[in-house]
Chain A
C-alpha cells in the first residue's frame, strides 16, 4: 500500500475563492480517492477517480488525475467557511488491500 503526499500542508483563503490541493503518489494505482476530515474526527469520502479517468466533477469539487505524472488535484470552487477541514488523498494500488493516508492539507476558509 502506498501513501499519497498532499501539497500544500496548509492553505488559507477567503470565502468565495477557489482552493487547489495537490497529491502525488509513487506506483500504479487502480483509483484515487479524496476524503475530508472536520475537527480531527471521522473522514468523509468526497470523490473517487479511476485510473482510466482524467477528470471528475461533483458539485463544487473537481478532481483531476494524471497517471503519467502520478499526481492528482482537488479543486474546490467558490469556497465557503464550511469547507474548512483537512483534505486527504488516498491512492489505491492495483494489488492493494487498504487505503493509506498522508498528512493531508489543512484548508482554512475565512468568512
Chain B
C-alpha cells in the first residue's frame, strides 16, 4: 500500500475485555515495530519483528500483551484483560530493514479503556 495503515483508528473498551489492534506495513518492509504513547508522553517501545527472526519482545509491559506477524506482513497486537493504564495511542512503524533506515509510521490506534 501507499503507507502504513492501522485499524481501528479509535477503540473504546471496558476494563477486562480483550482488544486486537492491527497494523498493515508498507509492502516489502521486513521490519515492523509497535510503540505506545500515553497522553503528552514520548514513545514507549513494545515489540519489533525483523524478517523471519524471533521477535524482540523486551518492551512488552506485561504478559497481557502479545503480538504476532503473519506471513511477514500484517501484525496484530493483542491486549488481554485490558486495564485503564493501557489507555494510549498505539503506533506501528515499518522499515525496509533495521540498518538505520527511515521508518514509516501509521496513524495509530487510540485505545480508551473505561
Name A residues whose Cβ lies closer than 8 Å to a Cβ of B.
1, 30-31, 33, 35, 40-45, 48, 88, 92, 96-104
Interface contact A45-B104, CB-CB below 8 Å = yes
Q: A40-B39, A41-B89 are in contact. Are A98 and B102 (CB under 8 A)?
A: no
Interface contact B102-A45, CB-CB below 8 Å = yes
Verify if B87 is at the interface (C-beta below 8 Å from A). Answer: no
Q: A101-B43, A102-B42 are in contact. Are A48 and B106 (CB under 8 A)?
A: no
Interface contact B105-A42, CB-CB below 8 Å = yes
Interface contact A88-B100, CB-CB below 8 Å = no
Interface contact A100-B100, CB-CB below 8 Å = no
**Minimum C-beta distance from A8 to chain B (A):** 15
Verify if B25 is at the interface (C-beta below 8 Å from A). Answer: no
**Minimum C-beta distance from B80 to chain A (A):** 25
Name B residues whose Cβ lies closer than 8 Å to a Cβ of A.
4, 33, 35, 37, 39, 41-43, 45, 48, 50, 56, 89, 91, 93, 98-100, 102-108, 110
When C-beta atoms are compared, the residue in chain B nearest to A3 turns out to be B42
Interface contact A30-B42, CB-CB below 8 Å = no
**Residues of B contacting A88 in the complex (Cβ-Cβ under 8 angstroms):** 42-43
Interface contact B91-A43, CB-CB below 8 Å = yes
Q: A41-B108, A42-B106, A44-B105 are in contact. Are A101 and B42 (CB under 8 A)?
A: yes
**Residues of A contacting B107 in the complex (Cβ-Cβ under 8 angstroms):** 41-42
Which single member of B48, B91, B100 contacts A92 (CB below 8 Å)? B100
The 13 sampled A-B contact pairs (Cβ below 8 Å) are A31-B100, A42-B106, A43-B105, A45-B102, A48-B102, A98-B33, A98-B45, A98-B48, A98-B56, A98-B98, A101-B35, A101-B43, A103-B41
**Minimum C-beta distance from A3 to chain B (A):** 8
Interface contact A42-B45, CB-CB below 8 Å = no
**Residues of A contacting B48 in the complex (Cβ-Cβ under 8 angstroms):** 97-98
Distance, CA A30 to CA B100, complexed state (A): 7
In the complex, besides A40-B39, A40-B89, A100-B45, 7 extra interface pairs with C-beta distance below 8 angstroms are A42-B108, A44-B105, A88-B42, A88-B43, A96-B98, A101-B42, A104-B42
Identify which of B35, B39, B48, B100 gathers the most chain A CB atoms within 10 Å of its CB. Answer: B100
